[in-house]
Amino acid sequence: MHECYLQLREVSKAVGGEHVILECRECMYDNFYSRQGFKKLNENVDKNGLYTLYNRIKFKDLLES
């Protein structure tokens, strides 16, 4: 997960953002992403069985600690 945040931090420098938007399966939301603070953009899965999630992550603060 740390390596993933490092890559996202580099992207955030280029685009100037702190938001992460991703898609995941229902089981991954329940088992992982909800515990990481991600929120659902839609309450129902799409036709492919995926949730769209978002989270605001301050990469600078996260990686300095």
Predicted pLDDT of residue 61: 63
pTM: 0.68
Strands 19-25 and 39-40: unpaired
* 8 Å CB contact between 6 and 42: no
Q: What order of strands is seen across the sheet that includes strand 19-25?
A: 19-25, 50-56, 39-40
Predicted pLDDT of residue 57: 74
Predicted pLDDT of residue 13: 72
Q: What is the pLDDT along the chain (65 residues), one digit of tens a residue?
A: 667 667 777 776 776 667 788 899 999 999 988 998 899 999 999 999 999 998 887 766 655 54
Tell me the residue type at 53. Answer: L
From 47, 48, 36, 51, select the one nearest 5 (Cα to Cα): 36
Residues in the chain: 65
